[in-house]
A and B are shown apart, each in its own frame.
Chain A
Amino acid sequence: MRRWLALAVVALCAGSDARAEELVLALSTREVAITSTYTGAEVTVFGHIERDARTIARTGEYDIVAQVQGPTGEVVLHRKGRFGFIWLTESRRRYSKVPLYFSILSAKPLASIIDEDGRQRLKLGLEHFLPAPTPELEERDEFGFRNALLRLRREEGALTENEKGVTMIRPNLFTARIVLPAKAPTGLYLVNISILSEGVPLRTAQAGFVVRKVGFDAFVANAARNEAVSYGLFTVLMAILLGWMANVVFRKD
């Protein structure tokens, strides 16, 4: 179903006379439905780089970088320390408004597409999923915490970098494969696609899709939040009833 081309999303108009390329995007789906059998999903972005007679001639080929940012949330990080002979949590950091899913897709390593300065300017790279540290937070501790956060989120699959996530079908036609893990949070996902040529950014376009629970899972999640008392009573009754049933079924004496 999600393979269907749903909607062409954004086609930005060019601003200047000597025209730059235009970028047209389409997503394989606008909504990823979480049902009882959900174990992760894939969303494909189709992109077409449009040029006409007035477009500047390019010598090199196009490079594509897709940055996907999921809904934001709060992450609490703990650090253990030694107290005598036992290990306990000695300090913690709370990071709010952090994207709970963040991924960067390209057809080749980022470093060979654009240099360090350019990456900084365009905010391309996994390290940009966190807001830049403010001077007062720039302590020795803060670095350790930020690196640990990057590392741990990467291990959890919430932070990915895929150098083979973009496929060039033709020199001006590409697809980007977004892989959502099973634990992908529900909410709005923004896809930010940049085309570059020989390290120069040419154009950026955006698209988005939504991950949401549907059917039974949506019903349960809503009930738990909005009808907490009935939901709790139902769970307790279910537990008691099943316990009683097992007792009757297994009764021998």
Chain B
Amino acid sequence: MQLYLPIAELPLNLFLLLGMGGAIGFISGLFGVGGGFLLTPLLIFVGVPAPVAVATSAAHIAASSVTGALTYWRRNALDLKLGTVLTIGGLLGTLAGVFFFNQMRRLGHLDLVITLAYVTLLMSVGCLMFVESIGAMLRQKAGKASPIRKAGDHVWYEKLPLTMRFPRSKMSTSVIPLAALGLVIGFIGTVLGIGGGFLVVPALIYFFRVPTSIVVGTSLFQILVTMIVATLLHAIVSQAVDVLLALTLVVGGVIGAQFGTRTGQALKGEQFRLLLAMLILIVGIRFALDLVAAPADRFSINATELER
């Protein structure tokens, strides 16, 4: 069944859209990532103009993170305090990112910076997580207990001033590194046009040793706030949010996210990290291939716009 999308200005199959929304929603609920880095390219692939794809993905991510975050909240697996600190840092980072984005665009090297940064980031985070989680799984098989965190065992950045206790995450740490993490992620996310969930999750796990189950819920909360702001900004500034496209994706997405959260809760920490590492690596490799492989066609139409 074809459905004409009023802002994207093309008809697409309704069931294709529901299915795409559902699949990305599942991944979002499972890993606590937004899924924008998967959905946006998919939408562009089926013919949706790039600005509409970016703007409408934001609405989809907001919806799947609401449903995911609520599930984690009900299971007491969401650290609201931690999420709020990250979000405040994240919003500041977004502002800095928008500024940097416009400065770089004026200099004209944005494409190169974005593509190289994206590939480097995905590949390095993916590789590190992959190696670590395999190591953890092997250690467990050999019968050695994975190192358990002792109370009062703090890394230097956790000992900075402005200490705050996060009982849900079983940690007390300085607010400074957390807000800085939020800021960096918000900044990178804005410049690269992604939510940054795939960076928040490993960072919280490795740098702050927050339990995996709580990381996912907290990351979903932070993504939710960021994406609500992003959807509004896109609707006002670029006017490229397609409400009908959003509706179909969201309906698929919220259902997929429900199944994702359920599956996620049943996974062990190492399994979770291995799967997420593989997902990040696959996306990284795809982008790297795009860069290295000779294009089939050197020319491409980047945008067509009606004069109104």
Using C-beta atoms within 8 Å of the partner chain, give the interface range for chain B. Answer: 35 or more
The secondary-structure label for the interface of chain A is mixed
In-complex Cβ contact of A73 among B2, B7, B306 (8 A) = B306
A96 contacts across to B, CB distance below 8 A: 307
Cα–Cα distance between A253 and B232 once the two chains are bound (Å)? 33
Q: Does B121 contact A (CB under 8 A)?
A: no
Judging by beta carbons under 8 Å apart, are A235 and B254 in contact? no
Judging by beta carbons under 8 Å apart, are B231 and A34 in contact? no
B257 contacts across to A, CB distance below 8 A: 243, 246
Judging by beta carbons under 8 Å apart, are A224 and B243 in contact? yes
Judging by beta carbons under 8 Å apart, are A239 and B62 in contact? yes
Q: A37-B2, A80-B295, A229-B236 are in contact. Are A243 and B254 (CB under 8 A)?
A: yes
Cα–Cα distance between A82 and B258 once the two chains are bound (Å)? 45
In-complex Cβ contact of B244 among A72, A158, A185, A220 (8 A) = A220
Count, chain A residues at interface, CB 8 A: 70
The secondary-structure label for the interface of chain B is helix
Judging by beta carbons under 8 Å apart, are B3 and A247 in contact? no
Shortest distance from the beta carbon of B271 to any chain A beta carbon, whole Å: 22
A186 contacts across to B, CB distance below 8 A: 9, 306
A80 contacts across to B, CB distance below 8 A: 295, 298-300
Q: Chain B, 48-79, contact with A by CB distance < 8 Å: what is the 0/1 string? A: 00000000000110111111001100110000
B43 contacts across to A, CB distance below 8 A: none
Judging by beta carbons under 8 Å apart, are B66 and A244 in contact? yes
Shortest distance from the beta carbon of A2 to any chain B beta carbon, whole Å: 16
Q: A71-B307, A182-B11 are in contact. List 12 more A-B contacts (CB 8 A).
A: A75-B301, A87-B290, A87-B295, A152-B300, A187-B306, A224-B241, A231-B241, A233-B232, A240-B228, A242-B67, A242-B254, A246-B67
Task: Name B's A-contacting residues (CB within 8 A).
Answer: 2-4, 6-7, 9-11, 47, 59-60, 62-67, 70-71, 74-75, 111-112, 115, 228, 231-232, 234-236, 239, 241, 243-244, 246-247, 250-251, 254-255, 257-258, 290-295, 297-307
